[in-house]
Structure 1
Amino acid sequence: MSWSDRFVGIPHAEFGRTRTGSDCWGLACIIYREELGITLADYLGEYASPGDLGEISALIDHGRASPLWVAVPETPIAFDIALFRRGRWSSHIGIVIRHGLMIHMREEDCAKAERYDTGPWRHRFAGHYRHVSRAVERPVQIVSQARR
């Protein structure tokens, strides 16, 4: 059993941010709050329509430039955000369960676990991002000096 099983089946709802219904970002808000104790910005009122992929993409680009999110060049870990393009717009996200597997909101359906390293999501993948509070710090190497 995975932590993600508790979120599978949450119904889709435009502008939703609760377990009674959410969109893809709403699902991230729910998971981060319940699993990590992190409150993400809800972005409600910052885009007019879920169909306006340009506005959503602009919000995502603003988020990527924010100091709150760090690009993950190496292998992603659980709770990283996987970003996807729809057409020319980066406008959909999933939450990594493990490398290649995400939970995300299927429009007009519900939250589902799905592979993104194969199949239809593979060619849409645009990068992984980690919340700064979860960024892995490089280990500090302590060099002891011998006494003379």
Structure 2
Amino acid sequence: MIAQKYKTVPYLDGGRTMAGADCWGLVRMVLMDEYGVPWLPEWGHISEASHADIHAAFCSSRPEFYRVPYAAAGDVVCVFSPAGECAHVGVIVPGDTGPTVLHTRPQSGISTMPLARFEHFYDNRIEYWRYAFDPSL
């Protein structure tokens, strides 16, 4: 199971490796290691507390993705603040009971949550984005 491989990675604000990762660092690793997506931009050190910086980074990478109406394994799930800013990201992975969100937060570290529960928890303030590349090329 994909999620098990990352469960021991500690939360580290600005982290981009297995030694420590924030939400974007975790998404980058999972997409590269599990789904063959080329390394995505690092976005530099963006604090989890700065929704404006997270949103600006998200917008800068948006051309590499396209929005999809339903989540599938390997999709990025973006959580939007009430102000409409992308404030958190996770990645969809297979779970025991269906699609699961793998994400990390400073308070809890890496965790998984069934997609339906994640949608409810974030009051449906989420969007799904799929990397726009053709692995057969």
Name the TM-score class by shorter chain: 0.7 to 0.9
Does the Cα contact within 8 Å between 2:77 and 2:90 map onto a contact in 1?
Answer: yes
Residue 95 (1) aligns with residue 94 (2):
no
Residue 125 (1) aligns with residue 125 (2):
yes
Relative distance call for 1:124 and 1:62 in structure 2 (3 A) is farther
Larger strand fraction of residues: 2
Which residue, 64, 75, 78 being the options, matches 1:80? 75
Deviations 1:87-140 (A, max 9, x none): 4221101100146520000223321111242365341532100001259xxxxx
Task: Tell me the C-alpha RMSD between the 2 structures.
Answer: 2.2
The 1-side partners of 2:92 and 2:49 are apart by 24
Does the Cα contact within 8 Å between 1:84 and 1:92 map onto a contact in 2?
Answer: yes
Aligned residues: 129
Greater length-normalized contact order (CA 8 Å, ≥ 6 residues apart): 2
Uncovered stretches (5+) of structure 1, i.e. residues with no partner: 136-148
The 2-side partners of 1:32 and 1:134 are apart by 14
Tell me by how many angstroms 1:12 deviates. 0.3
Tell me by how many angstroms 1:77 deviates. 1.2
The aligned residue for residue 55 of structure 1 is 53
Larger radius of gyration: 1
Relative distance call for 1:127 and 1:96 in structure 2 (3 A) is same
Relative distance call for 1:11 and 1:42 in structure 2 (3 A) is same
Deviations 1:50-103 (A, max 9, x none): 321112112212322x1x101112x32111001102342211011001465200
Match of 2:44, SS state, is coil
